[in-house]
Chains A and B, each alone.
Chain A
Amino acid sequence: MLRSKKSYPMKSDVRERKDAYILDIDLPGFGKDDIKAYLEDGYLIISAVRKKEKDRKNARYLRQERYSGAYKRSFFIGHQANQEDIKAAYKRGVLRLIIPKTEAKETSHNGMIAIA
């Protein structure tokens, strides 16, 4: 009787590859322009607003199961990521983001101070 998952929009898969993380987010029924993705304080934020369909005469909802509000979800990806490196594509109602792994800057650990 108890469900562990509540039904909510923007179901996401995250996969780790050698070079990158791949994020697939379900966003059915949007136009490409309705979806926004940006980085803020190490969080990748995805937001989308469904454009209101032109009010058709006599159109009346008999059943409404689809989520019709504004969508927003954030993922913490760290401060190293650059907005320019993230690639995004929207296809068949799924937004795919490819976030390349960034190597942590190598710092020398031998404790020696370089004398110029």
Chain B
Amino acid sequence: MLLPSIFENNFADNFFDDMFNFSFPFNYMGNGSRLMNTDVQDLGNDYQLDIELPGYDKKDIHAELKNGYLTIYADKQESKDEKAEDGRYVRRERYSGKCRRSFYVGDYLKEEDVHASFSNGVLSIVLPKDKNAEEVETKKYIPIE
């Protein structure tokens, strides 16, 4: 199939990716490239989120818990020194700027239960599972005196 170069060689791949991604609108940000790719793991007692944020500094990243949603904000602040010796861009693929993503985690969580660490451009967040859900089941057995 001959197509103008703007479609790239993998036109078909792109096309079907888009169809597939439609149900996840939060994957769309800015110019269509996906940001903040996230892995979610079930660790038994906890959930672990690993969010890619390459190039961001720890102080540029904020996590907020509100109404059952965990929202991660990141804002890259380029230092002035770097800007002065910026040079001319020959190629620019990386996204630099603000980004945000929310995850519904449930109302039961409190800020102090959530543990976050940032290393090598990946933000890892550990959330405990809801313990009340299990308690309900144990409550079935009432000791009779």
Contact = CB atoms under 8 A, between A and B. Distances in A.
Contacts of B14: 2-3, 6
Interface residues of B, number: 45
A58 B86 CA distance: 47
A109 interface: no
A111 B133 CA distance: 89
Given A4-B8, A6-B14, A14-B90, A28 B120 contact: yes
Contacts of B56: 92
A60 interface: yes
A66 B35 CA distance: 10
A78 interface: no
B145 interface: no
Q: What 7 A-B pairs are tightest by C-beta distance, nearest first?
A: A93-B121, A28-B121, A58-B44, A93-B54, A15-B87, A17-B87, A29-B122
B55 A26 contact: yes
A66 B53 contact: no
Contact of A22 (B15, B54, B87): B87
B39 interface: yes
Interface residues of A, number: 39
28 contacts: A2-B11, A3-B17, A3-B33, A5-B31, A5-B33, A6-B10, A11-B94, A11-B95, A12-B91, A14-B91, A15-B88, A15-B90, A16-B88, A26-B121, A27-B121, A28-B120, A29-B121, A56-B43, A59-B43, A61-B40, A61-B42, A62-B42, A62-B47, A63-B38, A64-B40, A90-B120, A92-B57, A93-B122
